[in-house]
Amino acid sequence: MKIVNLGTQGLKVSQQGLGCMGMSEFYGDTDETQGIHTIHRAIELGVTFLDTATAYGYDDEGPSSNERLLGKALKGKHDQVVIATKFGPLRSKTEHLGLDGSPENARKVCEQSLKNLGTDVIDLYYLHRVDPNIPIEESVGGMADLVKEGKVRYLGLSEVTVDQLKRAQGVHPISAVQTEYSLWSRDVEENGVLQACRELGVGFVPYSPLGRGFLTGSLKDRGQLKEGDWRLHNPRFTDDAFASNLRIVEGIEKMAAEKGCTPAQLALAWVHAQGEDMVPIPGTKRIKYLEQNIAALDVQLTHEDVQHLQTLAPVGQTVGERY
């Protein structure tokens, strides 16, 4: 696994990371032991970049159960990985309770995250969503104080506009922007965020690069989604949208068969082909899919292949909003 620069501040990570969210919540049944084994296998295969957040998972101790799972998995292994976590969203077990991007909350959550993760420093600390009631300069200023104190190494932002990114960069260097990006979610190409990241030397971390599992070709019917799977309430997975979006996947499946890879590997290879400043973090809770996703790095795409994929899934063809 190649190690690449994420941004221009010195942060180095594996060229593909692992999103850990689904190990604790959102995509049906979870199994902590299975999740830990998957994390250990990822490290064995050279994955150094692990992504979590305080908003992922809720158990008897409250929110952040995914951070606690990661903390258990990484005992004695912290020196082998780069941990990214995020603050901002407030939640109960079942409800979103708003956002708090205040410097005070950045500090409070950081202290709790350090405890949850069993570490002395967070490698990459993201503002998960911009708080509309607090200027982003204040949020990033609070995060910058944590860098000065040695509790955080690098700063990131998730789901920001070009203006917000530039204003944040004026307060403290931003190492990474995390946004959904895949063959069926290419908003950042149109709204200027991807170009701004490149102009400012900010790394780009695509989350859900497999379209929340849709681009893998494994989902053929909404009935496959189990109770508790949040995709049942996602606009792209409603009955009508599901049927329309399957047409995109059918084209990807056909091309994958011709290339001798899985649809998931082809979709991931397309993301990697967008540039070395891209470090996607496909999420999975199973070793089988982890290994398949890593094998996507061996899929070589020509310029013509990339262009053909983009004709199969042109901007604007996906039915339904992302959220």
Q: pLDDT of 68-84, one tens digit each? A: 999 999 999 999 999 99
Mean pLDDT of 22-26: 89
56: annotated active-site residue: yes
What pLDDT band is residue 85 in, cutting at 50, 70 and 90?
very high
The pairs formed by 92-95 with CB atoms below 8 angstroms and a separation of 24 or more are 92/58, 93/58
Question: How many alpha carbons fall within 13 Å on the CB side of residue 81?
Answer: 30
How far is 301 from 299, CA to CA, in rounded Å? 6
Burial class of residue 258, CB neighbours in 10 A (0-12, 13-18, 19+): exposed
Q: What is the pLDDT of residues 110-166, one digit of tens each?
A: 999 999 999 999 999 999 999 999 999 999 999 999 999 999 999 999 999 999 999
* pLDDT the model gives residue 222: 84
Class of domain 3-210+274-301: alpha beta
CA-to-CA dists, residue 7 to 80, 124, 178, 182, 272, angstroms: 20, 11, 12, 20, 16
Percentage above 70 pLDDT, the chain: 100
Q: Where does residue 2 rank: exposed (0-12), middle (13-18), buried (19+ CB within 10 A)? A: exposed
Tell me what pLDDT residue 92 has.
86
- pLDDT tens digit sequence for 210-268: 998 899 988 888 888 888 787 888 888 888 888 888 888 999 999 999 999 999 999 99
Q: What are phi and psi of 163, to 5 degrees?
A: -60, -45
The alpha helices in 260-286, defined as continuous H runs, are: 263-272
Q: What is the DSSP string of 138-181?
A: HHHHHHHHHHHTTSEEEEEEES--HHHHHHHHTTS---EEEEE-
Q: Render pLDDT for 185-202 as a digit per residue (tens, 0 to 9).
A: 999 999 999 999 999 999
pLDDT of residue 30: 86
Q: 27, 56, 125, 207: which one is catalytic? A: 56
Residue range 31-67, pLDDT digits in tens = 999 999 999 999 999 999 999 999 999 998 989 999 9
- pLDDT at residue 9 in the model: 96
> The dihedral of CA 207, 211, 217, 218: what is its sign?
positive
Question: Tokens for 303?
Answer: 């310029």
Q: What angle do CA 91, 95, 100 make, to 5 degrees?
A: 35
pLDDT at 100 over 80: yes
Give the pLDDT of residue 188.
95
Decide if pLDDT at 316 tops 80. Answer: no
Q: Where are the domains positioned within the chain?
A: 3-210+274-301
Q: What is the pLDDT of residue 240?
A: 85
Q: Are 145 and 175 in contact (CB under 8 A)?
A: no
Structure confidence at residue 171 as a pLDDT band (50, 70, 90): very high
211: left (phi over 0), alpha (psi -120 to 50) or beta: left
pLDDT, average across residues 315-320: 81
